[in-house]
């Protein structure tokens, strides 16, 4: 084997087809050819003589490449331009410099842009023709506005979207994508700006193999790659090999570098004719790419490409800040949700109820599909979860195989093959143990990743080439990616794992505190209940005795006042008669108040008489009894829903309906009054949480009357509370709603009102189903 073959063992790849099996070894940095839209000259730094020229110089400027080798730049450029280049050469690095010049030594003297850099022991001069793109000028005010919008982006998603929109505005490409790499080097389209008639690629995923390692290394070195026509025929270098290194020159930083034929084939399969890619680099790591597509060949000027590169580098510099904003926002969400859940837990005697009965629930602690609370043999599911039988199977596996207090995975199948049955909703999960004894857990579930992805290109089908190889396309890449992430959910973030540990510790503290409190309070609870019952009995007895015993002397005052009016009215002046009449009226008022107090005390003293009650018949009988008063006041009563039959205190339920109906009739100034009775919707709950139709029936009485100001919604249920003068709306003592509240509370329910002044009122009351 000769020396050249030994040193340049990969040269065979330049002359053999590139396939999926060898693309990871393709020497893309030394292709030995250029894209033919421009031409290349490489100079020996010391002699300034041409040592490489692309073979397309004959087609572009009429000079064969062989005639340029060994000569100076005077074969192409005039003395003034050569002098400008000489001034730049001492400062050249791999970073490109731009110079505009006419080719004075060429007959037609076309105008080219010269891109200069120094690398691999050579001076590189790349000649690009002046671009004729529709977008040719830089709008600085618009650019300033664009940068301001990017700076103001409140999230990474918004930041990415603004970036692709700005690049598309600058270049005029048909489609611009933001492509983000995952930890496993696969990628996802996270932002897109496109022509309206193009198929969307948003959310599309690629496997890591779509961008080989050597290509990623090139993206880290050279931030921008441009292909104005993917159907080009490469123009080889003359000569192909480096003058000293026995291999083609390293074209890592060359703008005209020819690209991998497998990538060109990929672009053609997508229907793309021109493309540009800008690297997004964060702390030396390739975070993603801004990828531009055009459906026809498109030559974008070097200046506009540099402007896009400036946006890409600006994006890269700001990305960390936007990520920190996203992380902080999610961290605050987790923290705020935790605090609110902990508050709810503290408000319930059974802390488990605080985890799911009110919003937010324990499911809302993280971004997940669903959650399960497994406690003392019960399983409470929230959101999208496996079945209770499947959750019990998971619990059994945890009890046997997991000793940690907090366990998490993004692929349950890797630990237990039975996870295949639940991968659609629970490929991954976090489980926290709630007790020393195994079996009590809170588990958060995440679905299989491919279950959450929808790709737009479902109509594309696999194609097979004649040699039996699979034709590259976005659809095939998506399927290849899906095969690598099957049985896998989105990963759990470190902050989520830490939050799960905090939730476990807090709930453990709550359980310990509850246990200690139960021990210290158990001894005194019976005594306190006994004292409370005795106190309530004494209070009810006092109210009963006071109201009953006071009625007799009050009745005497009332009767003697009437006797005085009847026997001595002629002997008294008008003022005396008026005072006696006031005394009669006030004694009548006092008797009504005492009667209401007596009735209230009776409600407290008497035990509820619970029996099976048909509430529909009960209300119909009551409406029929009140019909003469309804007819007199032109009141129409409608029972909207079929009312249930269940166990309750029929007498007290009837009294509550009677009070609410008479109030609805009384407190209305409408000529035609409408009252509706019904069963409240499932989501209606009282101030203390009763309702929802699970454990309570919630009834309502709705009117179109004068309404109640919200600031009085609580006070109207106090004894003797009236919002209007005694003489308005038919009088009354103001005790009816207080009595109704006590009757409802005796049946484990509550009563409340929803109303706005002048817009009617809806009174709700709940009765427990478990009396």
Sign of CA dihedral 309, 310, 311, 313: positive
Residue of higher predicted confidence among 274 and 602: 274
- pLDDT tens for 665-683 read 888 888 899 999 999 988 7
CATH code at position 675: 3.30.565.10
Q: Do residues 206 and 329 touch, judged by C-beta distance below 8 A? A: no
Q: What does the pLDDT look like over 699-751, one tens digit per residue?
A: 999 999 888 888 888 878 876 555 555 545 545 555 678 878 888 888 889 99
- Are residues 376 and 295 located together in one domain of the fold? no
How far, in Å, CA of 390 to CA of 419, rounded? Answer: 9
What confidence category does residue 462 fall into, taking pLDDT thresholds of 50, 70 and 90?
Answer: very low
Question: What pLDDT does residue 560 have?
Answer: 62
* Residue that terminates a domain, selected from 555, 586, 604: 604
Check whether residue 626 and residue 761 sit in a common domain.
yes
CA distances from 191 to 514, 737, 760, 763 (A): 50, 60, 51, 51
Residues 544 and 657 reside in one and the same domain? no
User: What confidence category does residue 482 fall into, taking pLDDT thresholds of 50, 70 and 90?
Assistant: low
Residue 712 is classified by DSSP as: G
pLDDT one-digit tens code per residue, 246-276: 889 999 899 999 988 888 888 888 889 999 9
Q: How confident is the model at residue 135 (pLDDT cuts 50, 70, 90)?
A: very low
Handedness of CA 513, 519, 520, 521 (dihedral sign): positive
Residue 222 tokens read as 């050279």
**pLDDT value at 8 more than 70:** no
SS3 at position 202: coil
Q: What is the DSSP string of 205-266?
A: EE-GGGS-HHHHHHHHH-SEEEES-TTPPPEEEESSS-TTTSS----TT-TTB---HHHHHH
Query: Which position has the higher pLDDT, 558 or 6?
Result: 558
Joined tokens for residue 612: 């099976």
Rg (CA), the chain: 43
In Å, how far are 125, 136, 248, 259, 694 from 54, measured between CA atoms?
11, 27, 12, 15, 81
Please give the Cα distance from 394 to 74 (Å, whole number). 79
- Quote the number of domains for the chain: 5
Q: Where are the beta strands (DSSP E) in 349-439?
A: 370-375, 378-383, 406-409, 428-433
DSSP tag of 635: E
**pLDDT more than 70, % of the chain:** 77
CATH code: domain of residue 479: 3.30.450.270
Cα→Cα distances 508→342, 358, 376, 521, Å: 12, 20, 15, 20
Q: pLDDT confidence of 14, banded at 50, 70, 90? A: very low
382 within some domain: yes
Does the pLDDT value for residue 457 go beyond 50? no
Residue 240 in any domain: the answer is: no
Q: Are residues 739 and 753 in the same domain?
A: yes
- CA–CA gap between residue 27 and residue 13 (Å, rounded): 8
Give the model's confidence band at 6: pLDDT under 50 very low, under 70 low, under 90 confident, else very high.
very low
- Compute the distance between CA of residue 613 and CA of residue 657 in angstroms, rounded to an integer: 14
Q: What is the pTM of this model?
A: 0.60
Same domain, yes or no: 305 and 424:
no
Same domain, 584 and 648: no
Question: pLDDT class for 136, splitting at 50, 70, 90?
Answer: very low
> Please, which residues have CB within 8 angstroms of residue 513's CB and are 6 or more apart in sequence?
none
Q: CA–CA separation, 682 vs 747, rounded Å? A: 20
Taking 80 as the threshold, does the pLDDT of residue 428 lie above it? yes
Provide the β-strand partners of residue 426.
none
If pLDDT is split at 50, 70 and 90, which confidence band does 528 have?
low
Who wins on pLDDT, 560 or 99?
99
Predicted pLDDT at 54:
94
Domain-embedded: residue 639: yes
What's the confidence (pLDDT) of residue 604?
A: 52
- pLDDT for 12 beyond 90: no
Are 456 and 528 contained in the same domain? Answer: no
Q: What is the DSSP string of 265-330?
A: HHHHHTT--EEEEEEEEETTEEEEEEEEEESS-----HHHHHHHHHHHHHHHHHHHHHHHHHHHHH
283 and 194 in a common domain = yes
Q: What is the dihedral of CA 133, 135, 136, 140, to 10 degrees?
A: -160
Place of tokens 């139709």: 693
Q: What local confidence, expressed as pLDDT, does residue 564 receive?
A: 73
User: What sign does the CA torsion over 101, 103, 108, 110 have?
Assistant: negative
Same domain for 226 and 160, yes or no, is: yes
CATH number where 43 lies: 3.30.450.20
What the block records as the tokens of 270 is: 């997508």
Tell me: do 56 and 162 sit in the same domain.
Answer: no
437: pLDDT strictly greater than 80: no
Q: Stretch 438-459: mean pLDDT, rounded? A: 71
Residue 602, pLDDT score:
54
The pLDDT value recorded for residue 533 is: 59
In a domain, 507, yes or no: no
* Confidence (pLDDT) at 213: 80
Of 139 and 288, the structure prediction assigns the larger pLDDT to 288
Return the closest-CA partner of residue 603 out of 769, 745, 748.
745
* pLDDT at residue 21, as a whole number: 46
Give residue 466's pLDDT.
40
Each residue's pLDDT tens digit, 371-423: 999 988 889 999 999 999 999 999 999 999 998 889 999 999 999 999 999 98
The secondary element (H helix, E strand) that includes residue 353 is: none
CA 679 – CA 660 distance, rounded (Å): 15
Helix (DSSP H) and strand (DSSP E) numbers for the chain? 19, 25
Beta-bridged to residue 322, according to DSSP, are none
Question: How does strand 224-227 pair with strand 97-102?
Answer: unpaired
Quick one: pLDDT at residue 276?
A: 95
Higher-pLDDT residue of 546, 216: 216
Helix, strand, coil percentages (3-state) for the chain, rounded to 5, are: 45, 20, 35
Whether residue 85 has pLDDT greater than 50: yes
Name the domain boundary from 560, 580, 604: 604
Q: Are residues 592 and 526 in the same domain?
A: yes
Spatial distance between the Cα atoms of 240 and 688, rounded to a whole number of angstroms: 84
Give Cβ neighbours of residue 220 (< 8 Å, ≥ 6 apart).
279, 281, 284, 286
**DSSP 3-state of 482:** helix
Backbone angles phi, psi at 157, to 5 degrees: -60, -45
End position of a domain, from candidates 604, 639, 661:
604
Query: What are 174-212's pLDDT values in tens digits?
Result: 999 999 998 888 888 999 999 999 988 888 887 777 777
Q: Tell me the mean pLDDT in the region 53-59.
A: 92
Q: What pLDDT is stored for residue 720 in this prediction?
A: 54
- 497 falls within a domain: no
Indicate the pLDDT class of residue 601, thresholds 50, 70 and 90. low
Domain limits for position 587: 516-604
User: 89: which 2 tokens?
Assistant: 């050469």
Distance CA 395, CA 375 (A): 11
Inside any domain, residue 27:
no
Phi, psi of 214, deg, nearest 5 = -65, -30
Say yes or no: 573 and 712 in one domain: no
Give the residues across from 97 on adjacent strands: 116
pLDDT of residue 712: 83
The reply to whether 679 falls in a domain is yes
What are residue 698's phi and psi, to 5 degrees? -115, 115
Residue (of 368, 338, 335, 367) closest to 355 by Cα position:
338
SS3 177: strand
Tell me the average pLDDT across 295-315. 91
What pLDDT score was predicted for residue 13?
42
So what's the pLDDT on residue 27? 75
CATH of the domain at 588: 1.10.287
Q: Which of 423, 432, 417 is nearest to 372 (CA)?
A: 432
Residue 6 lies in a domain: no
**In 10 A of CB 743, how many CB atoms?**
25
């Amino acid at each position: 084997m000769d020396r050249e073959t030994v040193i340049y063992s990969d040269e065979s790849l330049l002359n053999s087809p590139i396939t999926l099996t060898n693309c990871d070894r393709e020497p893309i940095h030394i292709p030995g050819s250029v894209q033919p839209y421009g031409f290349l000259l490489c100079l020996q730094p010391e002699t300034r003589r041409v040592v490489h020229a692309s073979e397309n110089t004959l087609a572009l400027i009429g000079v064969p490449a062989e005639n340029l080798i060994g000569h100076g730049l005077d074969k192409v450029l005039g003395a003034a331009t050569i002098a400008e280049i000489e001034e730049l050469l001492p400062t050249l690095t791999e970073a490109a410099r731009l110079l505009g010049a006419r080719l004075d030594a060429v007959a037609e003297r076309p105008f080219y842009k010269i891109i200069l850099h120094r690398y691999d022991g050579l001076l590189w001069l790349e000649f690009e023709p002046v671009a004729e793109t529709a977008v040719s000028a830089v709008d600085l005010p618009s650019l300033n506005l664009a940068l301001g919008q990017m700076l103001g982006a409140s999230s990474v998603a918004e930041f990415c979207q603004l970036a692709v929109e700005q690049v598309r505005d600058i270049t005029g490409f048909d489609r611009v994508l933001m492509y983000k790499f995952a930890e496993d080097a696969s990628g996802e389209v996270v932002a897109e700006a496109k022509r309206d008639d193009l198929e969307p690629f948003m959310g599309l995923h690629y496997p890591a193999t779509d961008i080989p390692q050597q290509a990623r290394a090139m993206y880290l070195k050279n931030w921008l790659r441009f292909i104005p026509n993917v159907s080009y025929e490469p123009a080889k270098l003359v000569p192909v090999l480096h003058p000293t290194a026995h291999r083609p020159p390293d074209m890592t930083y060359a703008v005209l570098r020819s690209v991998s034929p497998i990538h060109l084939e990929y672009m053609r399969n997508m229907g793309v004719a021109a493309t540009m890619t800008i690297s997004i680099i964060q702390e030396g790591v390739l975070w993603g790419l801004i990828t531009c597509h055009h459906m026809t060949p498109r030559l974008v000027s070097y200046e506009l490409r540099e402007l896009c590169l400036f946006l890409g580098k600006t994006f890269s510099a700001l990305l960390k800040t936007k990520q920190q904003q996203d992380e902080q926002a999610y961290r605050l969400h987790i923290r705020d949700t935790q605090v609110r859940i902990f508050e709810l837990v503290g408000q319930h005697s059974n802390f488990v109820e605080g985890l799911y009965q009110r919003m937010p629930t324990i499911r809302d602690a993280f971004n997940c599909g669903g959650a399960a609370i497994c406690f003392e043999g019960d399983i409470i599911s929230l959101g999208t979860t496996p079945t209770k039988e499947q959750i019990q199977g998971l619990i059994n596996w945890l009890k046997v195989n997991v000793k940690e207090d907090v366990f998490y995975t993004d692929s349950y199948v890797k630990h237990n093959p039975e996870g295949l049955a639940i991968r659609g909703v629970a490929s991954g999960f976090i489980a926290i143990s709630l007790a020393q004894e195994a079996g009590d857990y809170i588990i958060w579930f995440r679905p299989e990743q491919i279950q959450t992805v929808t790709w737009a290109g479902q109509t594309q089908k696999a194609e097979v080439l004649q040699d039996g190889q699979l034709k590259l396309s976005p659809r095939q890449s998506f399927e290849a990616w899906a095969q690598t992430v099957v049985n896998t959910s989105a990963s759990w973030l470190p902050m989520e794992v830490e939050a799960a540990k905090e939730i476990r510790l807090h709930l453990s503290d709550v359980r310990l505190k509850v246990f200690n409190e139960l021990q210290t309070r158990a001894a005194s609870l019976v005594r306190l209940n006994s004292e409370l019952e005795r106190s309530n009995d004494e209070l009810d007895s006092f109210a009963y005795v006071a109201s009953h015993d006071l009625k007799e002397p009050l009745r005497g005052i009332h009767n003697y006042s009437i006797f005085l009016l009847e026997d001595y009215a002629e002997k008294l002046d008008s003022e005396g008669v008026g005072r006696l009449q006031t005394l009669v009226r006030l004694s009548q008022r006092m008797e009504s108040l005492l009667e209401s107090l007596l009735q209230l005390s009776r409600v407290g003293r008497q035990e509820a008489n619970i029996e099976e009650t048909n509430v529909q018949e009960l209300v119909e009988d009551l409406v029929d009894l009140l019909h003469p008063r309804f007819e007199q006041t032109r009141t129409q009563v409608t029972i909207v829903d079929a009312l249930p039959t269940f166990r309750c205190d029929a007498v007290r339920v009837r009294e509550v309906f009677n009070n609410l109906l008479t109030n609805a009739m009384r407190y209305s100034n409408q000529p035609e009054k409408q009252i509706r009775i019904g069963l409240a919707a499932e989501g209606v709950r009282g101030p203390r949480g009763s309702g929802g139709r699970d454990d309570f029936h919630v009834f309502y009485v709705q009117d179109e009357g004068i309404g109640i100001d919200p600031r009085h919604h609580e006070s109207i249920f106090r004894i003797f509370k009236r919002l209007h003068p005694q003489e308005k709306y038919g009088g009354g003592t103001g005790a009816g709603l207080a009595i109704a509240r006590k009757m409802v509370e005796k049946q484990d329910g509550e009563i409340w009102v929803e109303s706005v002044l002048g817009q009617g009122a809806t009174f709700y009351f709940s009765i427990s189903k478990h009396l």
